[in-house]
Amino acid sequence: MDDYPLLNLFWTMLWFFLWIMWLFLLFRVIMDIFRSDDLNGWAKAGWLILALVLPYLGVLIYVIARGRSMGTRDVREAKERDAAFKAYVREAANSPDAGGTSRGGHVEDLAKLADLKDKGALSEEEYQRAKSKLLV
């Protein structure tokens, strides 16, 4: 243990974490190359070859040249995922349940029943029977 001082251990850890961070950046750049809609196939191939053949320089050049558009694409994709999730939730909330009526429809049906009862078209007994059928 005396032949490897504590400061060298910290220095090794620092270099290890920097290497891991660079790997994450490399994979992020490669993913961005493939998801970029504004690049044609040859441009994607060129950027990919540059990032793989000269990794440090290629990644640095890519981040300098296209870093702003990387952020823009991230924000756009996050908004698209959020909109898709919200649309899914809205669709799931209005989808038919086992009885064939929509979940939001129960509220509307109950409101219609209450309105019919208030107008005198339904008696209290008929209202309670219809309400129990809806809620089951």
Per-residue pLDDT averaged across 54-79, rounded? Answer: 91
Global confidence as pTM: 0.57
**pLDDT, mean of residues 87-99:** 71
**95 confidence band (pLDDT: 50, 70, 90):** low
Q: What percent of the chain has pLDDT over 70?
A: 90
Place of tokens 């890519």: 62
Averaged pLDDT for residues 5-34: 92
DSSP H/E element including 107 = helix 103-119
SS3 for 78-106 is HHHHHHHHHHHHHHHHHCECCCCCEHHHH
Domain ranges of the chain: 1-94, 99-136
CA 59, 60, 61, 66 dihedral sign is: positive
Is 135's pLDDT higher than 70? Answer: yes
Q: What is the mean pLDDT of residues 41-53?
A: 93
Indicate the range of 6-15, 60-69, 82-91 predicted with least confidence: 82-91
Looking at per-residue pLDDT, the higher value among 32 and 89 belongs to: 32
How large is the average pLDDT for residues 94-121?
A: 70
* 36-52 mean pLDDT: 92
* pLDDT for 103 beyond 80: no
DSSP 17-64: HHHHHHHHHHHHHHHHHHH-TTS-HHHHHHHHHHHHHSHHHHHHHHHH
Question: In whole numbers, what is the pLDDT of the chain averaged over residues?
Answer: 85
pLDDT at 53: 93
